[in-house]
Amino acid sequence: RAKDQGRNTVQIYTPSMEIDSSNRFVLESELREACLRKEFLVMYQPVFDSGSGEITGVEALVRWRRRDGTLVAPNDFIPLAEETGLIVEIGEFVFRTACRDWKHLSRAAGRPLRLAINLSPRQFRDEHLTAMILQALRENDVDPHYLEVEVTEGALIGDWDGAAEVLSRLREPGIHIAIDDFGIGYSGFAYLRHIAVDRLKIDRSFVGDIGHDIGNPALAGALIALARGLHISVTAEGVENENQLAFLQDQGCHEVQGFYLGRPMPVDESVSFFEKERHAASPEKQTAIATL
């Protein structure tokens, strides 16, 4: 057991630590191959209204499904996909798949769900982005109002005018914009004066500070107050326990997302999860939310 091996020999391995040049070459050609064969999987994590406990939407989260069946987490291949530009192709797969799955998920939930999809900086700057998204929506009869794209501050900084232009092109047909991992960027908040956003997603590190001796929930509370003061919807991500949920509700955080409420699941599992939430008289999580 790792514990028996002493404090200085923590056995943690992640593929991203191993990307030296030869490994990188192998990984890159495998990723290219995966793009050709569309060997990716889109998972959906439910997002909840923190007042009613109802499911308001899903966030699409991609995984690389290797030939041996193992799933590679985005943090272990998105950086390489960004560097190589393969992210544009992977992104298109995610949009097409998620738009196709949207009606099944919405039907199971009993209402049209918000569909949140992540955009990394390179995708955000791709000149065909809006056309690609609109085509994926049209082909699957999804109204653009149901789509929300999530960008990090990293995609915006550097070229604010360019970013504002991309955002207005997305907003024009009704697509919503969320700032992901809000609070951990280095840009300050001044851009919120100039850039119209619909939602702030508070980074899960702030949520992790809630209910722990070492962390201080003041930052999470302040970020929620900031969003509310600006009349921007606010979602907390990474909710892992009841104390965090109670605190977020108390602070008026509009929506919540996290393992405590629902993990990312493949589409068929999501459909059964949503049907269960809808049909159960007092679903466990709705009860958990309603009684707090």
Query: Which residues of this chain interact with Mg ion, rule CB under 5 A?
Result: 118, 150, 180-181
Beta carbon nearer to ligand C2E, 87 or 142: 87
Instruction: Collect all residues with Cβ–Cβ distance below 8 Å to 36 and sequence separation of at least 6.
Output: none
Q: Tell me which of ligand C2E, Mg ion, none is bound by residue 78, counting a contact when its beta carbon lies within the kind-specific cut-off of 5 to 8 angstroms.
A: ligand C2E
**CA-CA distance, 252 to 236, in Å (whole number)?**
11
DSSP element (H, E) containing 205:
helix 204-208
Q: Which of 61, 197, 227, 289 binds ligand C2E (CB under 6 A)?
A: 61
Minimum gap (Å) between residue 59 Cβ and Mg ion: 6
**209 to 248: interface string for ligand C2E, x by CB under 6 A:** ----------------------------xxxx--------
User: Smallest Cα–Cα separation from 117: which of 139, 101, 138, 128?
Assistant: 101
**258 to 287: interface string for ligand C2E, x by CB under 6 A:** xx----x-----------------------
Footprint on residues 173-202 left by ligand C2E (CB under 6 A) = 180-181
Amino acid at 100: R
Q: Which of 94, 109, 142, 220 binds ligand C2E (CB under 6 A)?
A: 94
| DSSP of 31-54 | HHHHHHHT-EEEEEEEEEETTT--
Beta carbon nearer to ligand C2E, 74 or 110: 74
Q: Does 80 bind ligand C2E (CB under 6 A)?
A: no
**CA-CA distance, 11 to 24, in Å (whole number)?**
22
Q: Tell me which of Mg ion, ligand C2E, none is bound by residue 94, counting a contact when its beta carbon lies within the kind-specific cut-off of 5 to 8 angstroms.
A: ligand C2E
Task: Enter the DSSP assignment of 15.
Answer: G
Footprint on residues 2-41 left by ligand C2E (CB under 6 A) = none
CB burial of 252-262 (b: ≥16 within 10 Å; e: otherwise) equals ebbbbbbebbb
Q: Which of 23, 29, 75, 282 binds ligand C2E (CB under 6 A)?
A: 75
